[in-house]
């Protein structure tokens, strides 16, 4: 509870105590009026000031104006008729109670998000003349060696050059299990170093680091409004003036009809009371407050679970997803390729592997890295020249003066080289040296531990169709799809083919549903942008994928996709519950108020009571741990 909330709570308690005490004080006339105005001023002065400012700025129609008119009217009635001012104080008191609940709920959601904001580093350590100097992370250049001591945050992305440790990544991923690190490992900013001293060579400037991107995503999340929020905003702009004019009509028209048409007493006091009750009932607080709060709480709860949703519009779209398209490598599989077989014509296994590793040495593709790991020796790049990478085919390069081609079937056909088909399941790298076929290398990817469970859980959650897109060969793609239980698979696709395929899938998606794409690679960015909603595997994903995506998973666990979908659906259920509940109760009470069957206390329930119940319901969106 912050200072503002504590101050408001004190005002509420003082006003409530004074209202109860004054009930037993035998005062009358002006003294009674003055005594009752003390708790009214204590609890309502800020509402009156805001209402006055709204009128001054020619924007009077808001909840402050409604509360001010209703309570001042109730006071006038008390002065002229009943001498009872408790209803006026009660309206202000319970309205402020509702506002306090709303403030507390927003604060709780902000604290969930601020746990992520705590990843912002205050400084970076640079060693100079044998001593550590703390500098602003913005001042650290790429390639600088920084030192991270136990208990400190990693300030900038980089590679460990010395030391080993365990890292607390819970603020980023929502997972409590520490990660082991060693020299050579890439490390992202925002993690907390738990044990050993680490020396890290920075690979990015602070403004481009993971922590900066995450903070930017979180800070901008609330600016993107959902259709439900936009509707409520438009609704309130029309609804509030309409009920003000309706209350005015309720005050004027029935007494005039009674006087001139029915020849009955006008009974202005009774109709004024009805109009004031009508105003209090009609206040749209429950909708205007609880709907944005539900989305805000949903985004906060998701952030705490390691799922960054860039705005409530994306949260709403995610809840409507009926089909999910997956990239294979790095999304459903680990992207850790291992050489599982070498088949050659005349060259030795080691020589064929050496030529492949050298030819692929300029590529950062996982297959290239797996060849270099299998080769196991330092790669001398000076032996390689004239490298030509052909997207979706492979690489052609000169190694020790020989022309070496390493790639798939398409590359061999492109070069007019007869090759021997391989019937092993895996990625096949065909090799040709000086235009002659030299053999092939079999590389297999490893499926992520939770991929199968994630696909199963998505189907149970109501996802009607799961699809996998990959540039891999058909036998490998089908084996992975069958093992995971994926409904459809499309293989041997170039990056442009993936966009085309998603376009086709968007035309044939389940009726009334949305299509999501999940990927992590730089070539997934166009597809992430094209799908109804793009989901990036954030921790190891490329910057381009994270920028293009609407939802970012802070680790590479596919089960987070299931959690993201469930969070969005829970949030939207709460939103629709609040809309139906708030509008339904208000319509009933408005009719009762207009007929004179509702007093001010029922009006308070219809306004503040409904708002408090809607806010409490909205807070449920924060709790996502067991989804």
The residue assigned the tokens 């989901």 is 535
Token pair belonging to 202: 């920075």
Give the angle subtended at the CA of 305 by the CAs of 303 and 307, to the nearest 5°.
55
* Residues sharing a CB contact under 8 Å with residue 440, sequence separation 6 or more, in sequence order: 342, 343, 419, 420, 422, 428, 429, 430, 431
Phi, psi of 44 (to 5 degrees): -120, 5
DSSP-based three-state secondary structure for 516: strand
Task: Name the H helices within 320-402.
Answer: 349-359, 366-375
Identify the DSSP state of 143.
Answer: T
Residue pair 145/113 in contact by the 8 Å Cβ criterion: no
Q: In what order do the strands lie in the sheet with 436-444?
A: 338-344, 436-444, 427-433, 402-407, 394-399, 384-390
CA 195 to chain centre: 31
Query: In Å, what is the CA distance from 531 to each residue of 450, 465, 501, 563?
Result: 24, 15, 11, 20
**Distance from C-alpha of 561 to C-alpha of 572, rounded to nearest angstrom:** 17
Residue pair 33/89 in contact by the 8 Å Cβ criterion: no
Residue pair 48/68 in contact by the 8 Å Cβ criterion: yes
**Catalytic residue among 62, 157, 168, 327, which?**
327
**280 closest CA partner among 99, 76, 103, 73:** 73
> Which H or E run contains 398?
strand 394-399
The residue ranges of DSSP E strands in 121-197, in sequence order, are 124-128, 131-135, 145-148, 158-162, 165-168, 179-181, 186-187, 192-193
Query: In Å, what is the CA distance from 99 to each residue of 130, 298, 611, 614?
Result: 56, 20, 9, 12
**Distance from C-alpha of 618 to C-alpha of 294, rounded to nearest angstrom:** 5
Phi-psi region of 244 (alpha: psi -120 to 50; beta: other; left: phi over 0): alpha
Annotated active-site residue 607? The verdict is no
C-beta atoms surrounding 223 within 10 Å: 9
**Distance from C-alpha of 288 to C-alpha of 229, rounded to nearest angstrom:** 8
Residue pair 554/539 in contact by the 8 Å Cβ criterion: yes
**Distance from C-alpha of 136 to C-alpha of 159, rounded to nearest angstrom:** 19
Task: Name the H helices within 118-175.
Answer: 170-173
CA 77 to chain centre: 50
Residue pair 513/322 in contact by the 8 Å Cβ criterion: yes
**Distance from C-alpha of 219 to C-alpha of 311, rounded to nearest angstrom:** 10
**Distance from C-alpha of 119 to C-alpha of 211, rounded to nearest angstrom:** 7
**Distance from C-alpha of 182 to C-alpha of 570, rounded to nearest angstrom:** 40
**Distance from C-alpha of 324 to C-alpha of 531, rounded to nearest angstrom:** 10
* Residues sharing a CB contact under 8 Å with residue 538, sequence separation 6 or more, in sequence order: 308, 546, 549, 552, 553, 554, 555
> Which H or E run contains 193?
strand 192-193
Partners of residue 200 on adjacent β-strands: 146, 160
Which are the catalytic amino acids? 327
């Amino acid at each position: 509870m912050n200072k503002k909330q504590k101050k408001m709570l004190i005002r509420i308690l003082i006003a409530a105590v004074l209202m109860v005490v004054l009930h037993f004080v035998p005062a009358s006339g002006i003294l009674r009026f003055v005594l009752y105005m003390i708790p009214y001023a204590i609890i309502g002065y800020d509402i009156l000031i805001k209402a006055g400012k709204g009128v001054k700025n020619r924007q009077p129609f808001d909840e402050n104006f409604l509360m001010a008119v209703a309570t001042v009217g109730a006071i006038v009635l008390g002065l002229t008729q009943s001498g009872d001012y408790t209803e006026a104080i009660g309206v202000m008191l319970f309205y402020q109670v509702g506002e306090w609940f709303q403030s507390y709920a927003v604060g709780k959601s902000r604290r969930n998000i601020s746990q992520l904001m705590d990843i912002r580093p205050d400084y970076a350590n640079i060693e100079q003349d044998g001593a550590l100097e703390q500098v602003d992370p913005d001042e650290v250049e790429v390639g600088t060696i920084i030192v991270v001591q136990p208990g400190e945050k990693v300030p900038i992305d980089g590679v460990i050059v010395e030391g080993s440790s365990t890292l607390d990544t819970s603020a980023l991923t929502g997972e409590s299990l520490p990660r082991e690190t060693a020299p050579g490992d890439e490390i992202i900013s925002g993690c907390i170093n738990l044990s050993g001293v680490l020396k890290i060579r920075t690979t990015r400037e602070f403004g481009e680091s993971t922590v900066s991107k995450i903070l930017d995503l979180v800070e901008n999340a609330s600016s993107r409004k959902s259709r439900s929020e936009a509707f409520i905003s438009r609704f309130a702009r029309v609804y509030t003036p309409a009920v003000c004019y309706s209350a005015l009509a309720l005050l004027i028209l029935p007494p005039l009809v009674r006087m001139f048409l029915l020849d009955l007493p006008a009974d202005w006091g009774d109709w004024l009371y009805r109009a004031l009750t009508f105003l209090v009932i009609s206040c749209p607080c429950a909708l205007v407050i609880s709907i944005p709060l539900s989305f805000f709480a949903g985004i906060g709860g998701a952030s705490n679970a390691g799922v960054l949703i860039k705005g409530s519009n994306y949260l709403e779209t995610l809840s409507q997803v009926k089909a999910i398209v997956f990239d294979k490598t790095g999304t459903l599989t680990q992207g850790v390729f291992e050489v599982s077989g070498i088949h050659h014509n005349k060259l030795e296994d080691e020589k064929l592997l050496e030529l492949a590793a050298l030819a692929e040495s300029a590529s950062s593709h996982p297959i290239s890295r797996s060849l270099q790991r299998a080769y196991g020796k330092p790669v001398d790049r000076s032996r390689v020249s004239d490298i030509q990478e052909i997207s979706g085919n492979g690489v052609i390069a000169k190694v020790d003066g020989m022309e070496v081609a390493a790639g798939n079937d398409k590359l061999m056909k492109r070069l007019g080289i007869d090759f021997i088909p391989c019937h092993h399941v895996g990625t096949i790298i065909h090799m040709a040296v000086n235009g002659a076929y030299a053999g092939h290398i079999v590389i297999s990817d490893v499926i992520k531990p939770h991929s199968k469970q994630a696909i199963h859980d998505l189907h149970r959650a109501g996802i009607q169709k799961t699809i996998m897109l990959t540039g891999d060969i058909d036998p490998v793609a089908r084996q992975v799809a069958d093992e995971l239980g994926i409904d459809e698979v499309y293989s041997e696709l170039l990056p442009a083919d993936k966009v085309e395929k998603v376009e086709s899938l968007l035309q044939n998606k389940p009726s009334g549903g949305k299509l999501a794409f999940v990927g992590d690679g730089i070539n997934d960015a166009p597809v992430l942008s094209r799908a109804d909603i793009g989901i990036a595997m954030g921790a190891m994903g490329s910057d381009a994928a994270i920028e293009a995506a609407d939802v970012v998973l802070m680790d590479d666990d596919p089960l987070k996709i299931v959690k993201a979908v469930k969070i969005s659906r829970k949030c939207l259920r709460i939103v629709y519950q609040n809309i139906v509940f708030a509008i339904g109760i208000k319509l009933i009470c408005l009719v009762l108020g207009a007929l004179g069957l509702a007093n001010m206390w029922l009006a308070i329930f219809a306004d503040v009571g409904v708002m408090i119940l809607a806010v409490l319901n909205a807070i449920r969106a924060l709790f996502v741990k067991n989804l």
